[in-house]
Structure 1
Amino acid sequence: MAGHKQRQWVKPQTPPNSEINVTPLVDVVLVLLIIFMVVTPLLEKDILVRVPDTEVEDQPPPEDPNNQQLVVLLDKDGGYSINTEKVPTADYVNRLKRMLAAKKADEKVVFFMADDATNYGRLIVAMDGAKGAGAKVLAMATELPSNAIIQGTQVDTGTPAPAPTPTP
Protein backbone atom coordinates (compact mmCIF):
# COMPACT_ATOMS: atom_id res chain seq x y z
CA MET A 1 0.00 0.00 0.00
CA ALA A 2 2.71 2.23 -0.97
CA GLY A 3 0.55 4.26 -3.36
CA HIS A 4 -1.94 5.16 -0.77
CA LYS A 5 -1.97 8.81 0.22
CA GLN A 6 -2.89 9.80 3.64
CA ARG A 7 -5.68 12.35 3.92
CA GLN A 8 -4.84 15.60 5.54
CA TRP A 9 -7.38 17.56 7.43
CA VAL A 10 -7.19 21.31 7.22
CA LYS A 11 -7.88 22.80 10.57
CA PRO A 12 -9.46 26.29 10.37
CA GLN A 13 -7.43 28.93 12.08
CA THR A 14 -10.47 30.64 13.59
CA PRO A 15 -13.72 29.15 14.82
CA PRO A 16 -16.92 29.91 12.76
CA ASN A 17 -18.36 33.38 13.39
CA SER A 18 -22.06 33.39 14.20
CA GLU A 19 -22.41 37.14 14.82
CA ILE A 20 -24.35 39.43 12.47
CA ASN A 21 -22.24 41.74 10.38
CA VAL A 22 -23.71 45.17 11.10
CA THR A 23 -21.78 47.16 8.51
CA PRO A 24 -23.99 46.27 5.48
CA LEU A 25 -27.10 46.91 7.60
CA VAL A 26 -25.89 50.41 8.48
CA ASP A 27 -25.06 51.09 4.83
CA VAL A 28 -28.58 50.12 3.71
CA VAL A 29 -30.22 52.20 6.44
CA LEU A 30 -28.17 55.26 5.53
CA VAL A 31 -29.02 54.90 1.84
CA LEU A 32 -32.75 54.63 2.69
CA LEU A 33 -32.47 57.68 4.93
CA ILE A 34 -30.96 59.71 2.12
CA ILE A 35 -33.64 58.56 -0.32
CA PHE A 36 -36.43 59.54 2.09
CA MET A 37 -34.79 62.90 2.78
CA VAL A 38 -34.70 63.66 -0.94
CA VAL A 39 -38.18 62.36 -1.79
CA THR A 40 -40.15 63.81 1.17
CA PRO A 41 -40.04 67.48 0.06
CA LEU A 42 -41.25 66.43 -3.40
CA LEU A 43 -44.35 64.76 -1.91
CA GLU A 44 -45.57 67.88 -0.14
CA LYS A 45 -47.87 69.62 -2.56
CA ASP A 46 -50.37 72.24 -1.53
CA ILE A 47 -53.89 71.94 -2.86
CA LEU A 48 -55.82 75.17 -2.85
CA VAL A 49 -59.39 74.70 -1.68
CA ARG A 50 -62.01 77.40 -1.69
CA VAL A 51 -64.30 77.00 1.29
CA PRO A 52 -67.58 78.91 1.21
CA ASP A 53 -68.31 81.42 3.93
CA THR A 54 -70.57 80.12 6.67
CA GLU A 55 -73.45 81.94 8.22
CA VAL A 56 -74.65 81.17 11.70
CA GLU A 57 -78.43 81.11 12.10
CA ASP A 58 -79.84 81.86 15.52
CA GLN A 59 -83.21 80.21 14.91
CA PRO A 60 -83.74 76.64 13.74
CA PRO A 61 -85.83 76.22 10.58
CA PRO A 62 -89.57 75.92 11.17
CA GLU A 63 -90.91 72.42 11.68
CA ASP A 64 -92.62 71.15 8.54
CA PRO A 65 -95.64 68.99 9.47
CA ASN A 66 -95.16 66.92 6.29
CA ASN A 67 -91.57 66.17 7.31
CA GLN A 68 -92.63 64.59 10.59
CA GLN A 69 -91.80 60.93 11.15
CA LEU A 70 -94.71 58.54 11.31
CA VAL A 71 -94.76 56.41 14.44
CA VAL A 72 -97.50 53.82 14.88
CA LEU A 73 -98.03 52.80 18.49
CA LEU A 74 -99.88 49.61 19.37
CA ASP A 75 -101.19 49.35 22.91
CA LYS A 76 -101.80 46.10 24.77
CA ASP A 77 -105.53 46.21 23.93
CA GLY A 78 -104.77 46.29 20.18
CA GLY A 79 -105.55 49.98 19.64
CA TYR A 80 -103.62 52.10 17.15
CA SER A 81 -102.09 55.53 17.61
CA ILE A 82 -100.38 57.45 14.80
CA ASN A 83 -98.00 60.13 16.09
CA THR A 84 -99.72 60.29 19.52
CA GLU A 85 -103.23 60.48 17.98
CA LYS A 86 -105.61 57.58 18.73
CA VAL A 87 -107.00 56.14 15.50
CA PRO A 88 -109.94 53.75 15.18
CA THR A 89 -108.98 50.38 13.74
CA ALA A 90 -111.29 50.83 10.71
CA ASP A 91 -109.73 54.23 9.84
CA TYR A 92 -106.08 53.20 10.37
CA VAL A 93 -105.14 52.40 6.74
CA ASN A 94 -107.01 55.40 5.28
CA ARG A 95 -105.35 57.81 7.71
CA LEU A 96 -101.91 56.38 6.89
CA LYS A 97 -102.66 56.68 3.15
CA ARG A 98 -103.41 60.40 3.53
CA MET A 99 -100.30 60.99 5.66
CA LEU A 100 -98.01 59.05 3.31
CA ALA A 101 -99.46 60.70 0.19
CA ALA A 102 -98.15 64.07 1.46
CA LYS A 103 -94.58 62.71 1.66
CA LYS A 104 -91.94 62.26 -1.02
CA ALA A 105 -91.33 58.73 -2.28
CA ASP A 106 -88.05 58.29 -0.38
CA GLU A 107 -89.55 59.62 2.88
CA LYS A 108 -92.36 57.07 3.18
CA VAL A 109 -91.04 55.46 6.35
CA VAL A 110 -93.27 54.16 9.15
CA PHE A 111 -91.90 53.25 12.59
CA PHE A 112 -93.75 50.78 14.79
CA MET A 113 -93.67 50.67 18.57
CA ALA A 114 -95.63 47.89 20.23
CA ASP A 115 -96.38 47.33 23.89
CA ASP A 116 -94.81 44.20 25.37
CA ALA A 117 -98.27 42.72 25.94
CA THR A 118 -99.46 43.40 22.36
CA ASN A 119 -100.52 40.41 20.32
CA TYR A 120 -97.91 39.63 17.64
CA GLY A 121 -100.64 39.09 15.05
CA ARG A 122 -101.96 42.63 15.63
CA LEU A 123 -98.47 44.00 14.94
CA ILE A 124 -98.27 42.06 11.67
CA VAL A 125 -101.74 43.35 10.65
CA ALA A 126 -100.60 46.92 11.40
CA MET A 127 -97.44 46.44 9.32
CA ASP A 128 -99.43 44.95 6.42
CA GLY A 129 -101.83 47.88 6.58
CA ALA A 130 -98.94 50.37 6.46
CA LYS A 131 -97.43 48.57 3.46
CA GLY A 132 -100.84 48.66 1.75
CA ALA A 133 -101.13 52.38 2.53
CA GLY A 134 -97.95 53.06 0.55
CA ALA A 135 -95.11 52.85 3.08
CA LYS A 136 -91.79 52.02 1.41
CA VAL A 137 -89.81 51.24 4.59
CA LEU A 138 -91.12 49.66 7.80
CA ALA A 139 -89.02 49.93 10.94
CA MET A 140 -89.31 48.89 14.58
CA ALA A 141 -88.65 51.45 17.32
CA THR A 142 -87.40 50.06 20.61
CA GLU A 143 -88.08 53.08 22.79
CA LEU A 144 -89.94 56.35 22.65
CA PRO A 145 -88.42 59.73 23.46
CA SER A 146 -88.61 60.45 27.18
CA ASN A 147 -91.14 63.27 26.63
CA ALA A 148 -93.58 61.30 24.46
CA ILE A 149 -97.23 61.97 25.24
CA ILE A 150 -100.12 59.85 23.97
CA GLN A 151 -103.62 61.27 24.34
CA GLY A 152 -102.65 63.50 27.24
CA THR A 153 -100.99 60.81 29.33
CA GLN A 154 -97.26 60.51 29.84
CA VAL A 155 -95.81 57.26 28.42
CA ASP A 156 -93.62 55.32 30.82
CA THR A 157 -90.49 54.44 28.83
CA GLY A 158 -88.15 53.73 31.72
CA THR A 159 -89.82 50.66 33.18
CA PRO A 160 -87.92 47.50 32.27
CA ALA A 161 -89.84 44.35 31.49
CA PRO A 162 -89.98 41.87 34.36
CA ALA A 163 -87.43 39.09 34.18
CA PRO A 164 -88.84 35.67 33.36
CA THR A 165 -89.06 33.31 36.29
CA PRO A 166 -87.61 29.83 35.78
CA THR A 167 -90.06 26.97 36.06
CA PRO A 168 -88.96 23.86 37.96
Structure 2
Amino acid sequence: MRAPVVARRGKITVVKPASDMRSDINITPLVDVVLVLLIIFMVMTPLMTQTLSLQLPVPDDSASTAELAPGVVRLAADGALRLEGEPLRGEDCVPRLRAFLAARPEGQRGLLFEPDPRAPYSRLVSALDGARRAGAEALGLSVDAP
Protein backbone atom coordinates (compact mmCIF):
# COMPACT_ATOMS: atom_id res chain seq x y z
CA MET A 1 0.00 0.00 0.00
CA ARG A 2 1.40 3.37 -0.93
CA ALA A 3 1.62 6.32 1.40
CA PRO A 4 -0.54 9.32 0.56
CA VAL A 5 1.11 11.91 -1.59
CA VAL A 6 1.05 15.41 -0.14
CA ALA A 7 1.79 18.30 -2.45
CA ARG A 8 2.13 21.81 -1.11
CA ARG A 9 1.38 24.82 -3.23
CA GLY A 10 1.54 27.94 -1.28
CA LYS A 11 -1.05 27.79 1.48
CA ILE A 12 -3.22 25.02 -0.08
CA THR A 13 -2.43 21.42 0.83
CA VAL A 14 -3.69 18.69 -1.51
CA VAL A 15 -3.89 15.12 -0.21
CA LYS A 16 -4.31 12.33 -2.74
CA PRO A 17 -5.59 8.87 -1.60
CA ALA A 18 -3.18 5.96 -1.66
CA SER A 19 -5.41 3.89 -3.99
CA ASP A 20 -7.92 4.66 -6.67
CA MET A 21 -11.69 4.45 -6.04
CA ARG A 22 -13.19 1.01 -6.60
CA SER A 23 -16.51 0.75 -8.41
CA ASP A 24 -17.34 -2.88 -7.33
CA ILE A 25 -20.07 -3.56 -4.82
CA ASN A 26 -19.06 -5.34 -1.65
CA ILE A 27 -21.63 -8.17 -1.50
CA THR A 28 -20.39 -9.83 1.68
CA PRO A 29 -22.92 -8.03 3.94
CA LEU A 30 -25.71 -8.82 1.48
CA VAL A 31 -24.84 -12.52 1.50
CA ASP A 32 -24.72 -12.52 5.31
CA VAL A 33 -28.19 -10.98 5.58
CA VAL A 34 -29.66 -13.36 3.00
CA LEU A 35 -28.22 -16.40 4.78
CA VAL A 36 -29.60 -15.25 8.14
CA LEU A 37 -33.05 -14.74 6.59
CA LEU A 38 -32.87 -18.16 4.95
CA ILE A 39 -32.08 -19.82 8.27
CA ILE A 40 -34.91 -17.96 10.01
CA PHE A 41 -37.44 -19.02 7.37
CA MET A 42 -36.19 -22.61 7.43
CA VAL A 43 -36.66 -22.77 11.20
CA MET A 44 -40.02 -20.95 11.31
CA THR A 45 -41.80 -22.69 8.41
CA PRO A 46 -42.40 -26.03 10.19
CA LEU A 47 -43.65 -24.17 13.26
CA MET A 48 -46.22 -22.20 11.26
CA THR A 49 -48.10 -25.24 9.95
CA GLN A 50 -50.74 -25.95 12.56
CA THR A 51 -53.84 -28.08 12.47
CA LEU A 52 -57.17 -27.42 14.10
CA SER A 53 -59.09 -30.43 15.36
CA LEU A 54 -62.83 -30.14 14.86
CA GLN A 55 -65.53 -32.45 16.01
CA LEU A 56 -68.55 -31.73 13.85
CA PRO A 57 -71.99 -32.75 15.07
CA VAL A 58 -73.58 -35.77 13.45
CA PRO A 59 -76.99 -35.03 11.95
CA ASP A 60 -79.80 -36.74 13.82
CA ASP A 61 -82.41 -38.10 11.43
CA SER A 62 -84.88 -38.95 14.20
CA ALA A 63 -85.81 -35.31 14.91
CA SER A 64 -88.15 -33.79 12.39
CA THR A 65 -87.24 -30.43 10.92
CA ALA A 66 -90.73 -29.04 11.55
CA GLU A 67 -90.20 -29.28 15.31
CA LEU A 68 -86.82 -27.56 15.13
CA ALA A 69 -88.01 -24.59 13.09
CA PRO A 70 -88.44 -21.45 15.19
CA GLY A 71 -91.65 -19.47 15.20
CA VAL A 72 -91.67 -16.74 12.56
CA VAL A 73 -92.70 -13.22 13.50
CA ARG A 74 -93.11 -10.83 10.57
CA LEU A 75 -93.00 -7.07 11.00
CA ALA A 76 -94.79 -5.16 8.24
CA ALA A 77 -93.83 -1.71 6.96
CA ASP A 78 -96.67 -0.13 8.96
CA GLY A 79 -95.44 -1.74 12.22
CA ALA A 80 -97.99 -4.58 12.36
CA LEU A 81 -96.75 -7.88 13.80
CA ARG A 82 -97.80 -11.35 12.63
CA LEU A 83 -96.94 -14.59 14.44
CA GLU A 84 -97.10 -17.53 12.03
CA GLY A 85 -99.50 -15.49 9.87
CA GLU A 86 -101.84 -14.43 12.70
CA PRO A 87 -101.87 -10.75 13.67
CA LEU A 88 -100.51 -9.69 17.07
CA ARG A 89 -101.96 -6.65 18.83
CA GLY A 90 -99.88 -4.40 21.07
CA GLU A 91 -101.33 -5.35 24.47
CA ASP A 92 -101.74 -9.09 23.86
CA CYS A 93 -98.40 -9.52 22.06
CA VAL A 94 -96.39 -10.76 25.08
CA PRO A 95 -99.12 -13.14 26.43
CA ARG A 96 -99.65 -14.66 22.96
CA LEU A 97 -95.91 -15.12 22.46
CA ARG A 98 -95.65 -16.65 25.93
CA ALA A 99 -98.45 -19.14 25.11
CA PHE A 100 -96.85 -19.94 21.75
CA LEU A 101 -93.45 -20.58 23.33
CA ALA A 102 -94.88 -22.58 26.25
CA ALA A 103 -96.35 -25.07 23.76
CA ARG A 104 -92.85 -25.84 22.46
CA PRO A 105 -90.40 -28.22 24.17
CA GLU A 106 -87.52 -26.87 26.26
CA GLY A 107 -84.56 -25.89 24.10
CA GLN A 108 -86.70 -25.19 21.03
CA ARG A 109 -88.29 -21.96 22.17
CA GLY A 110 -86.90 -19.65 19.55
CA LEU A 111 -88.35 -16.92 17.39
CA LEU A 112 -87.22 -15.68 14.00
CA PHE A 113 -88.08 -12.07 13.17
CA GLU A 114 -88.50 -11.04 9.53
CA PRO A 115 -88.84 -7.24 9.44
CA ASP A 116 -89.79 -5.26 6.38
CA PRO A 117 -86.94 -2.87 5.41
CA ARG A 118 -89.33 0.08 5.75
CA ALA A 119 -90.58 -0.98 9.21
CA PRO A 120 -89.86 1.39 12.10
CA TYR A 121 -86.75 0.34 14.00
CA SER A 122 -88.27 1.23 17.37
CA ARG A 123 -91.13 -1.21 16.72
CA LEU A 124 -88.64 -3.98 15.95
CA VAL A 125 -86.71 -3.32 19.16
CA SER A 126 -89.90 -3.32 21.25
CA ALA A 127 -91.00 -6.59 19.58
CA LEU A 128 -87.64 -8.19 20.36
CA ASP A 129 -87.88 -7.00 23.98
CA GLY A 130 -91.41 -8.40 24.23
CA ALA A 131 -90.26 -11.75 22.85
CA ARG A 132 -87.47 -11.89 25.45
CA ARG A 133 -89.98 -11.09 28.22
CA ALA A 134 -92.27 -13.83 26.87
CA GLY A 135 -89.53 -16.40 27.46
CA ALA A 136 -87.86 -16.85 24.08
CA GLU A 137 -84.59 -18.73 24.50
CA ALA A 138 -83.19 -17.70 21.11
CA LEU A 139 -83.98 -14.76 18.89
CA GLY A 140 -83.06 -14.54 15.22
CA LEU A 141 -83.25 -11.74 12.70
CA SER A 142 -83.73 -12.57 9.02
CA VAL A 143 -82.82 -9.86 6.53
CA ASP A 144 -82.41 -9.94 2.78
CA ALA A 145 -79.00 -9.10 1.36
CA PRO A 146 -78.98 -5.75 -0.47
Q: TM-score, normalised by structure 2?
A: 0.49
> Quick check: which one's strand share is greater?
2
